[in-house]
Amino acid sequence: MPYELVFKHPFTVSIHSRTTTPVVYIRIWCEGVFGIGEASMPPYLGETQESVIDFIKKVDLSEINHTADLNQILAFIDRLAPGNNAAKAGIDIAFHDLFSKIEGKHLSTFLTLPNQPKLSSFTIGLDTPEQMANKVKEAEQYGFELLKVKLGSEDDAARMDAILSVWNKPFSIDVNQGWQNPDKDLDFILELAKSGLLFVEQPYLSTDLERARRLTACSPIPIIADESIKRWADMDVIAESFHGINVKLMKSTGIAEAMRMIQRAKANGLLVVTGCMAESSCAVAAMSHLSNLADWVDLDGPFLMKNDPFLGLNLVSGMLKLPTNPGIGVDFKVPVDSWAAVEV
C-alpha cells in the first residue's frame, strides 16, 4: 500500500530539505493472521514506491522449503536482488510481525529481549537559530528528555547558542556529513561537551573515513557512523573510524540483520544508536523492540509526521513505551480495507 508521510515542518539536514517521504506498507497473510511492515524511502537513498513494489513481486515464497525458519526465509529474500534495502526491511518487519503474532508474543519477547521503556531523543531539523530554539518547545510538549540537533553549516555555533538558551538537558548532534576540519570541529565538540553533548553523528562525508578516524582518535565524546554504515558487511570498513554505529532498519534490510549488527558492535566495544528514517509508528515500533540493546535510542519518526496512519506508539516521561500487543504491536487508525492496496 503506497502512502505519503507528511512532515509537520519541512525536514532539513545539511544536504537536503523535503516536506514528504514516500512509504509502502506491506501485509503478509498466513492462515488468517497478517503481519504488517513498512518500507520508507528518503529520496536520496534511491528507492521508490515503484521499486519496492517491483521487488515484492520478485518474492515467490513457494520456492522456499516449507520447513524454512524466519532467518532462512529472509536470507532467501535478500539473495533475490542486491540493494533494495528498504523493500527488504519492509518485508522483514512484516514477517517478524507475523511470526510473533502466530506465537502470541510481542516482538521483544519473540526475540528474547527485554521490553523496558527507554529514553528516546527528538530531532530538531536544521533551520534558523530562532526557529530551532522554537522547535525545542515542541520536544518539551511531547515530554522528550533528549534532543538530537541537526547541524552541519557555517552557523552551527549560533544555532547551538540559541538551543542551549532554552534547553539544559542532554543532547546529541547530527552533522549529516557537513563538517570538514577535525581540529576546529574538536574545539566545538569540547565546548558543547560542557553543556551535555552525548555523541556526534556522521561529521564527514560517508566515504571520508580517514577524517573521521582523526576526529575519533582525539574526541572524548563518541563519534557515531550513520551514512557511513548500512549493513553488516560495512562494519569491517568503519570499525577504526568511529566509536559506534547508528543502526536503522531501512539501511540494515530489517530486524534480523540489525540484531546481528548490534550484537557484533557490542562484542567489538562499539556503541550503538538505534535510529530511524522518516517512518511512521509501524517501522519505528518494530525498531523500538530492540531499544534495550542500544546505548541511545533515536526513534522519533512518528512525532515528526502529520499523518501517521497507526495507533500504538506512546511516549511516557520521554521514554518510548514498547507496544505490548502481539507482534510489533501497532494497528491502523483507519480500517485496512479502505486502503488502495496493490495485490502481488
What is the four-CA torsion angle of 209, 214, 219, 223, rounded to 10 degrees? 0
- Sign for the CA dihedral angle at 289, 141, 199, 5 comes to positive
CA angle 227, 237, 82 (to 5 degrees): 65
Size of the site for Mg ion (CB under 5 A): 3
Q: What are phi and psi of 250, to 5 degrees?
A: -70, -20
Q: Of 75-83, 132-140, 177-185, 220-228, which part binds Mg ion (CB under 5 A)?
A: 220-228
Pick the piece of the chain touching Mg ion (CB under 5 A) from 16-24, 167-175, 205-213, 309-317.
Answer: 167-175
Decide whether 77 or 261 has the Cβ nearer to Mg ion. 261
Minimum CB distance to Mg ion, residue 174 (Å): 4
CA distance 319 to 267: 26
Stretches 60-68, 155-163, 196-204, 327-335: which one binds Mg ion (CB under 5 A)? 196-204
Among 38, 78, 97, 174, binds Mg ion (CB under 5 A): 174
How far apart are alpha carbons 330 and 108 in whole angstroms? 13
> Considering the complex, what minimum distance in angstroms separates the CB of residue 106 from Mg ion?
28
* Choices 185-193, 198-206, 277-285, 319-327; region in contact with Mg ion by CB under 5 A: 198-206
R_g of the chain, CA atoms, integer Å: 20
Query: Exactly one of 92, 127, 226, 279 binds Mg ion (CB under 5 A); which one?
Result: 226
User: In the complex, which residue's CB is closest to Mg ion?
Assistant: 226
CB 6 to Mg ion: min, Å = 21
Give least dist CB 340 to Mg ion, A: 32
Cell (9 digits) for 160 = 547551538
Sign of CA dihedral 98, 103, 106, 110: negative
Of the two residues 156 and 201, which places its CB atom closer to Mg ion in the complex? 201
As measured in angstroms, the least distance from the Cβ of 246 to Mg ion is 6
| Closer Cβ to Mg ion, 201 or 295, answer by number | 201
Q: Contact 67/76 with Cβ under 8 angstroms?
A: no
Q: Which residues bind Mg ion (CB under 5 A)?
A: 174, 201, 226
